[in-house]
Structure 1
Amino acid sequence: MSDASMPDVEACFSASYPEARTKFLSACEAAGFELEAVQNTTATGRDGEALYADIASKGPKDASHVVLVTSGTHGIEGYCGSGCQISLVQAGLFATLPTDTRIVLVHAVNPYGFSHQRRVNEENIDLNRNFVDHMSSHPDSSAYEAIHPIIAPADYGDRPEHWDGEVLTWIGAHGMDAFRQAVSGGQYTCPDGLFFGGTAPSWSNGMVRTLMQSLASKATRFRFIDIHTGLGPFGHGEKLGLGTSSDVKRAQRIWGADVTDLAGGDSVSAVVAGDMGGAFFDAVSPDMDAAGIALEYGTQDPVSVLGALRWDNWLAAHGDPAGSDASAIKQKMRDAFYPDDGSWRASVVDQARSAVTQAINAS
């Protein structure tokens, strides 16, 4: 694995999905990656462009050690993940891989949200709540149902931008932890609401499962990193362990003792149902050496991030995406998930480089 110097980091980041895709494909082609474009034919981009999840691979197809790095699971968060992927490719991190190792980069798991600068997909589905067994009963949504009318009202009127009296009253009665879990844990009954997990597998769900199953069929050691933004201290990349507590312990041996366990309550994230880690562990055999993390970069305080999500949800469900409110709301989303800050971008790339290097080198 090459130890080349980093490229111009700022130039690796983009202002639109088409720009990010062009940069990613160009960088990967120049670096000798095999490329596969999987089109989402159910939707189009903000400017009518076709939408693709691009899969770039390098190394033996039958390699026993596979490292998978994904971006854009949560749409707009893909701007950060894309910049990290492009920067690492251009830096030559994958120029010389260890023997029997294959690196796979997926750019824009959710290209619709990436293009439209939303966290959700074309069906208002939060993909990290969609990887449940939709043939069985969905997780209980009663806690969210109780708060839906005040967290996602049809008319905000003159309410404060982030919070209002009804929300504060609910928190006072039930506590902040209960509020966080009710709102962001995932729900399956309010399709116009926040953190909706869907009622059937999404297009991205099928694409991800197909890829993971193919990679797992040849691997004996499988590492997975999914890049996210929006939770935690500004610029800090929390390593959220995926899977069970034993899976998290395996991840800690690879990425360090600071890998957090959602079930243990030591993470910035709520415990969620249907995250992409479920698809990863569904794909691997019980005896496989498999471990994964979500690399979650902090941006703003939780109040501001939730405020951006509430406004974006209102715009899509009850407002006019082409109206006078749209520009300001999309700016709130960019501020919450893709800060226009050079030091933040340099920091997230450095941390991504460390995490990917650990995944490649860990035995």
Structure 2
Amino acid sequence: MNMNLDVAKQSAQIVFSDTYLGARQKFLEAAPTSRAYKYGVKGPSGEELSTDVTYFGDPRAKKLLIIVSATHGVEGYCGSAAQLLFLQAGFHKMLPPSTSVLIVHALNSYGFAWDRRVTVEGVDLNRNFVDFSKPLPKNPGYEELDDYIVPADISEESIRRAEAAIAAYQAKHGEQSFRIAYSGGQYTRPGGAFYGGTEPTETRRTLEKIVSDYDVSSRGHVMIIDYHTGLGPHGYGELQCELSSGREGYERAANVFGASVTSPVLGTSSAVCIPGTQDEYWERTLGDRHTYVGPEFGTYPSPGGRNVLRKDHWLFKHRPDAADSDLGRQIRRATKAHFYPDTPEWKEMVVWRSHQVNRQAFEWLVNG
């Protein structure tokens, strides 16, 4: 279960893939008894899309580790690699009867295949787990900025005007208020960034079906590791908790992973407080019987990242017919490059941290 420099470098070459299809093939080779939850939509090469799930251990085990990749589709390159690392380390072969493991590969397989953060409905899955029977959260700041975040025109002059308007908003309201307006989730502008939708997405329903099929809600304690990329220092794996679990959820996670765990409740996270996260679903389903962390591996800072998402949303909102044209492929490649830095250095950092997180979670569940 230990990892030296040579092993980390070799693992980085093995576990990462350059496409969703390649990642899926590697996962199915490592976990051939996986169950496929299929979608009707196809990938850019006409490939079948599915969330693949594999389970190890006693079906009645009271302790369960769940490892999720591609909640935000394009971030699945990292998450899939982390899941393969877990299998490569052989943790699943050392389970006592009290503990089991559920690996959910490519939860948002549409976004993974098309190099988008969102689902096929254009919804940010990590804003979609709200209770839709109640009034939806409001974000007036986003509504004010929507035309600049996703303008109808992505010419250089249009982007210059958009960034000038955003800078003026930041100067007037402060950086933190802008971050909340921009990424705090919004439910009124379909096609916009960080859109949470008006009903559960197909991908959310798939996760709910998986939870039902594997009787997750009956477990004594469930630990969830939900891999992400895009926020924070380049290559650093921040262990984020979410607003929904509050300070209690943070303390449960810190008890397992140590003081590097962060929380927006405490103001220590690189993320803002957001509604409708996956952890909101776990909190509703399991309460204090769950511990959630979202490892967040930094890539590149804004405004570069903001412009990548701006063009992605513009493409699929205003020119969906061009998604597989030269322009569409150029925009998709840029999105992929932002959320998946294809460099040996970044990959090795991901491998080191992911192995550490996987090991800490496994050891705590087995020995706790």
TM over 0.5: yes
- The superposition leaves residues 156-179 of structure 1 with CA deviations (integer Å, 9 ceiling, x where unpaired) of 223376862112111111111111
Q: Secondary structure at the match of 1:262?
A: coil
Q: Which moved more, 1:3-12 or 1:135-144?
A: 3-12
**2:187 alignment counterpart:** 188
Aligned residue type for 2:300? Q
**2:347 alignment counterpart:** 345
**2:44 alignment counterpart:** 46
Higher helix share: 2
Q: Secondary structure at the match of 2:342?
A: coil
Q: Which moved more, 1:139-148 or 1:127-136?
A: 139-148
**2:197 alignment counterpart:** 198
Q: Percent identity?
A: 34
Offset at residue 333 of structure 1 (A): 0.9
d(CA) in 2 for partners of 1:350, 1:98: 25
Aligned residue type for 1:12? V
Q: Which moved more, 1:67-76 or 1:82-91?
A: 82-91
Whether the 8 Å contact between 1:66 and 1:215 is mirrored in structure 2 is no
d(CA) in 2 for partners of 1:123, 1:206: 13
Aligned residue type for 2:107? V
**1:83 alignment counterpart:** 81
Q: 1:93 to 1:344 in 2, by over 3 A?
A: farther
Pair 1:96-2:99 in alignment: no
d(CA) in 2 for partners of 1:38, 1:317: 27
Whether the 8 Å contact between 2:249 and 2:288 is mirrored in structure 1 is no
Offset at residue 211 of structure 1 (A): 2.6
Aligned residue type for 1:15? D
Pair 1:318-2:318 in alignment: yes
d(CA) in 1 for partners of 2:341, 2:112: 15
Q: Which moved more, 1:89-98 or 1:228-237?
A: 89-98
Aligned residue type for 2:189? C
d(CA) in 2 for partners of 1:352, 1:11: 14
d(CA) in 1 for partners of 2:73, 2:81: 14
Pair 1:25-2:22 in alignment: no
Q: Secondary structure at the match of 2:227?
A: strand
Matched ranges for 1:322-341 at <5 A: 322-341=324-343
**1:36 alignment counterpart:** 35
d(CA) in 2 for partners of 1:262, 1:105: 26
**1:209 alignment counterpart:** 208
Offset at residue 323 of structure 1 (A): 3.2
With structure 1 as the length reference, what TM-score do the two structures score?
A: 0.93
With structure 2 as the length reference, what TM-score do the two structures score?
A: 0.92
d(CA) in 1 for partners of 2:288, 2:324: 51
Task: Name which of 104, 113, 116 aligns with 2:114.
Answer: 116
Q: 1:117 to 1:287 in 2, by over 3 A?
A: closer
**1:15 alignment counterpart:** 18
d(CA) in 2 for partners of 1:78, 1:190: 25
Whether the 8 Å contact between 2:227 and 2:296 is mirrored in structure 1 is yes
**1:292 alignment counterpart:** 292
d(CA) in 2 for partners of 1:91, 1:159: 51
d(CA) in 2 for partners of 1:263, 1:360: 26
Q: Return 5+ residue gaps in structure 1 as ranges.
A: none
Q: Secondary structure at the match of 2:179?
A: helix
Whether the 8 Å contact between 1:3 and 1:93 is mirrored in structure 2 is no
Offset at residue 287 of structure 1 (A): 5.4
Over aligned residues, Cα RMSD in angstroms? 1.8
d(CA) in 2 for partners of 1:306, 1:229: 14
Whether the 8 Å contact between 2:73 and 2:110 is mirrored in structure 1 is yes
Q: Secondary structure at the match of 1:198?
A: coil
- The superposition leaves residues 37-61 of structure 1 with CA deviations (integer Å, 9 ceiling, x where unpaired) of 10122x2211122210000111111
d(CA) in 1 for partners of 2:301, 2:249: 29
Offset at residue 292 of structure 1 (A): 0.7
Aligned residue type for 1:21? R
Whether the 8 Å contact between 1:231 and 1:302 is mirrored in structure 2 is no
d(CA) in 1 for partners of 2:113, 2:146: 27
d(CA) in 2 for partners of 1:342, 1:93: 25
Whether the 8 Å contact between 1:209 and 1:283 is mirrored in structure 2 is no
**2:226 alignment counterpart:** 226
Q: Which moved more, 1:318-327 or 1:184-193?
A: 318-327
Q: Return 5+ residue gaps in structure 2 as ranges.
A: none
Task: Name which of 68, 71, 74 aligns with 1:70.
Answer: 68
Aligned residue type for 1:23? K
Whether the 8 Å contact between 1:9 and 1:87 is mirrored in structure 2 is no
